[in-house]
Structure 1
Amino acid sequence: MEPVRDEALIHIRGLEKSFKGVPVLRGIDLSVRKGEVAFIIGPSGGGKSTLLRCMNFLETPNAGTVSFAGQRLSQGSKDSFQLAPDVELRKARARMPMVFQHFNLFNHMTVLGNIIEGPVVVKGQGKADAIANARRLLAQFGLAEHESKYPAQLSGGQKQRVAIVRALALQPEAILFDEPTSALDPQLVGDVLEAMRELAGSGLTLIIVSHEMSFARVLADSVHFVSGGVIAESGSAEQVFERPQTTALRQFMDSIQR
């Protein structure tokens, strides 16, 4: 596998994605360093979630390269895009799992079953070790008493925290978050944001698509504004929120502040 000479943990160049001939991503360039908390913001329908899904190949890009920890995961160009030949998809995803807007828990499994599934099936961890690690994480996130429950028995905030624990149980190098609070009732958002704040403080790399601008102002190391299928502006939280350079970003900030 060809090494990528870049200090970034995640390195994306020229990423393109279309649906039924309609371009959604038109050439995304993005680099995220190890330990960085990167927020992706922008108007609805602008391609933010598609970008995340292309990072771990829940959607197959039409062109561009995705590299992770110095290894190129993808290769090719339009109409011939493919994974690099020595990349195993499940293991690649386990290195940067996604926490979804609507949780995506297995409804037929208990909380504990959801959490140990990936470590046992994908990473080959022994079941006893996987259970011990899952219980440690459940206790850390205030969920220990829920291990035998099924997702239908949990609140939305509890489901999302279980989804975070499920991702952490894979011992990933990065976690992708796709609007993790948008499906929650307002009174449940705080618990999930606090769990994410704890993750950020641990030094784990986080890439977060979110409409929680106040949260991004406090937590983000970098903010990337997606508009027209490209990253139109990037910078620190202070730069992006206080000194936007592009007309598109200024209009977006005006729209969310009304």
Structure 2
Amino acid sequence: MEKAIQVKGLRKSYKQLQVLKGVDFEVEKGSIFALLGSNGAGKTTIVKILTTLLKPDGGTATVNGFDVMKEPDYVRQSISLTGQFAAVDEILTGRENLIMIAKLRHLKNPYQVAEDLLSRFGLADAADRRVSTYSGGMRRRLDIAMSLIGKPQLIFLDEPTTGLDPEARIEVWNIVKELAKSGTTVLLTTQYLEEAEQLADQIAILHEGRIIVSGTLAELKKLFPPAKVEYIEKQPSLEEIFLVIVGKKEEK
């Protein structure tokens, strides 16, 4: 399979604090890759490096075949980033936000682009309301819609459901699944283990500056010792797997 992201030996420190200590992973094109880790594990630092917002101290990283250090302009042209908080203009309407981004990307028909995305993301009825009146889920949907303008090959979602209620979270999950079905590669960072369990083709756990395990959910389940209750084999949740793996590393 062709790789959308290749990371080798990535290192980053802030003064005396070494955040990344040699991170390695690959993401296949058209897949959903979930990067799990506790607060401060370095997930956002990795995203910032891969989106050219931060320079690494060492190692290499390529995104869509472009080196993030040597070819940052090409990287930016082929990706989109949705951060932890919705980057929308609350004074403007949903439609105006989309038209503004489409114009900034020099698209030929920004009004039609906005119309198509409003329909796709279920925002047509609220299109002409100010974003300040939107719910958290609606803002996040608009934020992701804005990220898709220009049809990026790869989208980074940095903890996209932080602060959302369960219903809004499921809405975002459905959007992510649709993106992958359409061929867009998704790198997702999250603290919600159920989110990775529901969405990801590949899961990596970042702990103490390194990827300590990576694989499909089925592969990670094999790392968890089987437990039986009477005659029924207990299937571990991703949360249980995460805690066992991280616990073993801390014991060492």
Q: In structure 2, which of residues 56, 63, 70 is the aligned counterpart of residue 68 of structure 1?
A: 63
How has the CA–CA distance of structure 1 residues 218 and 109 changed in structure 2, closer, same or farther, with 3 Å as cutoff?
A: same
1:29-85: CA deviations, max 9, x gaps?
1211110110111222111121112110223322222212222231xxxxxxxxx2x
> Under a length normalisation based on structure 1, what TM-score does the superposition of the two structures give?
0.81
> Residue 55 of structure 2: SS of its match in structure 1?
coil
Kept in 2: contact 1:8–1:31 (CA 8 A): yes
Q: In structure 1, which of residues 182, 198, 203 is the aligned counterpart of residue 183 of structure 2?
A: 203
TM-aligned CA deviation for residue 194 of structure 1? 1.8
Cα distance in 1 for residues equivalent to 2:7 and 2:210: 12
> Residue 156 of structure 2: SS of its match in structure 1?
strand
1:100-154: CA deviations, max 9, x gaps?
2211213343322322333322x3223xx12211211110111112222332110
Match of 1:185 in 2: 165
How has the CA–CA distance of structure 1 residues 72 and 137 changed in structure 2, closer, same or farther, with 3 Å as cutoff?
A: same
Match of 1:77 in 2: none
Cα distance in 2 for residues equivalent to 1:181 and 1:253: 26
Partner AA of 2:106 in structure 1 = G
TM-aligned CA deviation for residue 243 of structure 1? 2.1
How has the CA–CA distance of structure 1 residues 219 and 185 changed in structure 2, closer, same or farther, with 3 Å as cutoff?
A: closer
Q: In structure 1, which of residues 154, 167, 185 is the aligned counterpart of residue 147 of structure 2?
A: 167
How has the CA–CA distance of structure 1 residues 181 and 8 changed in structure 2, closer, same or farther, with 3 Å as cutoff?
A: same
Q: Percentage identity across aligned positions?
A: 29
Does residue 111 in structure 1 map to residue 94 in structure 2?
Answer: yes
Cα distance in 1 for residues equivalent to 2:55 and 2:91: 28
Partner AA of 2:103 in structure 1 = V
Match of 1:26 in 2: 21
Residue segments in structure 2 that go unaligned for 5+ positions in a row: 226-240
Match of 2:107 in 1: 125
Cα distance in 1 for residues equivalent to 2:119 and 2:214: 37
Tell which deviates more after alignment, 109-118 or 232-241. 109-118
Match of 1:136 in 2: 116
Tell which deviates more after alignment, 61-70 or 174-183. 61-70
Cα distance in 2 for residues equivalent to 1:161 and 1:43: 25
TM-aligned CA deviation for residue 8 of structure 1? 1.1
How has the CA–CA distance of structure 1 residues 242 and 43 changed in structure 2, closer, same or farther, with 3 Å as cutoff?
A: farther
Cα distance in 2 for residues equivalent to 1:191 and 1:94: 27
Kept in 1: contact 2:4–2:65 (CA 8 A): yes
> Residue 59 of structure 2: SS of its match in structure 1?
strand
Kept in 1: contact 2:52–2:72 (CA 8 A): no
> Residue 141 of structure 2: SS of its match in structure 1?
helix
Cα distance in 2 for residues equivalent to 1:244 and 1:117: 49
Tell which deviates more after alignment, 163-172 or 100-109. 100-109
Cα distance in 1 for residues equivalent to 2:131 and 2:66: 36
Partner AA of 1:47 in structure 2 = G
Match of 1:250 in 2: 244
> Residue 46 of structure 1: SS of its match in structure 2?
coil
How has the CA–CA distance of structure 1 residues 7 and 191 changed in structure 2, closer, same or farther, with 3 Å as cutoff?
A: closer
Aligned length: 233
> Residue 97 of structure 1: SS of its match in structure 2?
strand
Cα distance in 2 for residues equivalent to 1:20 and 1:108: 39
> Residue 35 of structure 1: SS of its match in structure 2?
coil
Cα distance in 1 for residues equivalent to 2:14 and 2:131: 32
Tell which deviates more after alignment, 165-174 or 146-155. 146-155
Match of 1:3 in 2: none
Q: In structure 2, which of residues 138, 162, 165 is the aligned counterpart of residue 158 of structure 1?
A: 138
